[in-house]
Amino acid sequence: MLQNRNISLFVINDFVSQIGNSIFSILIMWYVYETTASAIATALIGSFTHISAFFIGPIAGVYADRSKNPKSVFSWILRFNSFILIIMVICIYILSNEMEIFAVFVLVAIRNISFDFLYPVQTRVIPLIVPKDSVTKLFGYRSVSSNISSLLGNAVSGFVISLVGIIGGLILNSITFFLSSILISLLKLIQSPQTNKVKDLNSEGCQGFESKKMGLKKELLEGSKVLWNNHSLRKIAIISCLLNVVSMVGPMIVVYFNSYLNASSTTYGVFNAMITLGSIISGAIIGLLIKKHNNSTIVLFGWSLLSIIFFFMALNKVIWIIFVLGLLLGICLTLPNIILNSVQILIIPDEYRGRVSTLLQAVSVVLIPVSNFLGGIIADNLGANYVFLFCGLWQFLVVLIVYKNRELFNIQSTETETAL
């Protein structure tokens, strides 16, 4: 009963906060471009998330591991975001011109940094509110709620802008975060969190800032050692890094629809909707699939089919087939990702979960800028469809690596090979 209550609260929280986030993402891009008339400024504010995740994420993981009450930290981060959005409203209302846009940039940066702390705290909270064998089930429900809320948020964002403007939209987003913080505070832990075993820096006030700085460096180093010395985690990091090379298709989909398919923006919108629908289906059926099949079977099937989909997209121009491929694309991207996230959380020891999860995240995105640049070169010189052809070949090679290490995805409990 407690497990089901926690799952319901967590999923509803995720649904509410994701609606606000979806509205905010479109809202802030629209506002910045409308205010500055600069595509560079719009791209810059959109890149804050990746920049802060790479530089701040590992540090945020240390503080998440230090926390003796990650649930409380989770709730307060959401409330802090609610407060930041109200400050943003005030700045837009009372400031003007350069000062207004400068304040918005600073506040968006602070907001993204706070979200870097939210991710490792979530990775610590999830195994504390459900049993280990229900983590995948929770991720499945979360996938459904997140995709539905994103779909709704994207759909209503235009109406929000036209009806209540930037200020009204930000206030709405602030309310969603405050409601989410209340839902998180209602969660009941089924086990107590374990903090990391290093000396508590809060009791070393006499040593001052330098001791804390050295302690932070030491804890980051320990997290790195856990990641490196644990063979399973190291393999996950390598596989995730290689998988993200195919993320080059993301920015190229617009080019693919414009230059290769000569399709309208409406067709492009339907394709994205089909991807979202596929993600929703994945979250809904993952619970049934893991009862009948091994995790490795689901992962290998999903990523193998993904390779085939990329090949078909490189060669096909029939729109209705493209829509079907979009549905399958959503399924093949989401199902293995749910398994990967679940296994990752279960492998990492609780006292290192914040640090190692953020380090994994940082490692996994390191090739994305390079792959995006490579995708642009391929599209400009050969055509957007060749990007999909390249990604199909690359994905096939990754599947071979995953097949060789398939038992990695069947791990269901924390390993003990974390010697420092």
**For residues 27 and 109, what is the distance between their CA atoms, to the nearest angstrom?**
16
**Of 114, 352, 82, 113, the residue nearest 229 (C-alpha):** 352
- Other beta carbons within 10 angstroms of residue 38's beta carbon come to 12
pLDDT in tens, 154-174: 666 666 767 788 888 889 889
pLDDT of residue 209: 40
With respect to residue 28, please indicate whether it lies within any of the assigned structural domains: yes
**Of 307, 315, 329, 293, the residue nearest 398 (C-alpha):** 307
**Of 131, 127, 129, the residue nearest 184 (C-alpha):** 129
- 0.85 cut: is pTM over it? no
- Are 355 and 219 in contact by the 8 Å Cβ rule? The answer is yes
Q: Which residues form the domain of 165? A: 2-189
pLDDT of residue 6: 86
**For residues 305 and 392, what is the distance between their CA atoms, to the nearest angstrom?**
10
**Strands, E assignment, 39-196:** none
Residue 373 three-state SS: helix
Same domain, 141 and 245: no
Same domain, 149 and 286: no
**For residues 187 and 177, what is the distance between their CA atoms, to the nearest angstrom?**
16
Same domain, 51 and 180: yes
- Residue 97 zone, left/alpha/beta (φ > 0; ψ -120 to 50; rest): left
**For residues 77 and 282, what is the distance between their CA atoms, to the nearest angstrom?**
29
Contacts of 289-295 with C-beta under 8 Å, sequence gap 24+, read 289/335, 290/136, 290/137, 290/339, 294/409, 294/410, 295/136, 295/339, 295/342, 295/343, 295/409, 295/410
Of 189, 211, 233, the one marking the end of a domain is 189
With respect to residue 83, please indicate whether it lies within any of the assigned structural domains: yes
Same domain, 184 and 262: no
pLDDT in tens, 325-384: 999 998 998 888 888 888 877 788 777 777 787 777 777 777 776 777 787 788 878 888
- The structure tokens 């959380």 sit at 345
Q: Give 188's DSSP letter.
A: -
pLDDT of residue 240: 86
Q: Report CA torsion sign: 205, 111, 11, 281.
A: negative
Q: How many domains does the chain have?
A: 2
Residue 325 three-state SS: helix
With respect to residue 194, please indicate whether it lies within any of the assigned structural domains: no
Same domain, 252 and 173: no
- Other beta carbons within 10 angstroms of residue 206's beta carbon come to 6
pLDDT tens, the chain, 420 aa long: 667 788 888 889 888 888 888 778 767 877 876 777 665 566 566 666 667 777 777 777 777 777 888 889 999 999 999 999 999 999 988 887 778 888 888 998 898 888 888 878 888 888 888 887 787 778 778 777 877 777 677 666 666 767 788 888 889 889 999 999 999 999 888 877 765 544 443 444 444 444 455 466 777 787 788 878 888 888 888 888 888 888 878 767 767 877 788 877 567 667 877 887 888 888 788 878 888 888 889 999 999 999 999 999 999 888 899 999 999 998 998 888 888 888 877 788 777 777 787 777 777 777 776 777 787 788 878 888 898 999 999 999 999 999 998 888 886 544 434 443
Of 171, 189, 207, the one marking the end of a domain is 189
Query: Which tokens belong to 55?
Result: 């530089």
Burial of 365 (0-12, 13-18, 19+ CB in 10 A): middle
* CATH code of 344's domain: 1.20.1250.20
Same domain, 165 and 49: yes
pLDDT of residue 237: 86
Report CA 92 to chain centroid distance, whole Å: 29
pLDDT of residue 43: 55
